[in-house]
Amino acid sequence: MSREELAAAYAAPNRHYHNLSHIEDCLAALARVDGLSAAERETLTEALWWHDVVYDPTRSDNEERSAALAEQHVRAGLRPEVGRLIRLTKTHDVGAGDRLGAILISIDLSILGTDPARYDAYAVAIRREFGHVSEGDYRTGRARVLRHFAVRPVIFPDPDFAAVYDQQARDNLARELASLS
């Protein structure tokens, strides 16, 4: 699967947030990370490109399906680590000492810590992706997801991302939670 085919997958009409702009934002965030070896940067780049390649908001196995697809297409030496990293995006939980996992998850979640206008546009896009869900069910489910992140002592497992994004993410989460109740 070429980059063009990947980009086409991200351009599907039902993708309002999990689209090519999200991947571009993730890759831009990766470009700002210092201290990575060329191999680590390549691994993270592949994981970011593939982490949402399969996205169907009616299913719960998107991460597994994306990881499996990546493992079929990335360079053989990268397959196990790229697949592992993509699977972390299911829960956004990272083990102690997992630097690449911490960076990947922090990049994926960085939208939570953006300025309020950008965060609000993200929240609207997520709602559009879940247009098949009734308003009441959406509010309940979305609030559950947001509380999951809001109660964490650490939202961004990479300390550099936490320093930049944590407080704004907590403010954004609290604001959206208030709007859902």
pLDDT tens for each residue of the chain, 181 residues long: 788 888 899 999 999 999 999 999 999 999 999 999 999 999 999 999 999 999 999 999 999 999 999 999 999 999 999 999 999 999 999 999 999 999 999 999 999 999 999 999 999 999 999 999 999 999 999 999 999 999 999 999 999 999 999 999 999 999 999 999 8
Query: What pLDDT is attached to residue 3?
Result: 81
Question: Hey, what amino acid is at 136?
Answer: G
Query: What pLDDT is attached to residue 99?
Result: 97
CA pair distance 114, 122, nearest whole angstrom: 10
Query: What pLDDT is attached to residue 16?
Result: 96
Query: What pLDDT is attached to residue 1?
Result: 79
CA pair distance 181, 25, nearest whole angstrom: 30
CA pair distance 146, 150, nearest whole angstrom: 6
- Structural domains present in the chain: 3-180 (1.10.1300.10)
Q: Angle at the Cα of 103 (from 155 to 15), degrees rounded to 5? A: 80
Query: What pLDDT is attached to residue 71?
Result: 97
Exposure string for 28-42, b = 16+ CB within 10 A, e = fewer: ebbeebeebeeeeeb
The answer to whether 1 and 69 are in contact (CB under 8 A) is yes
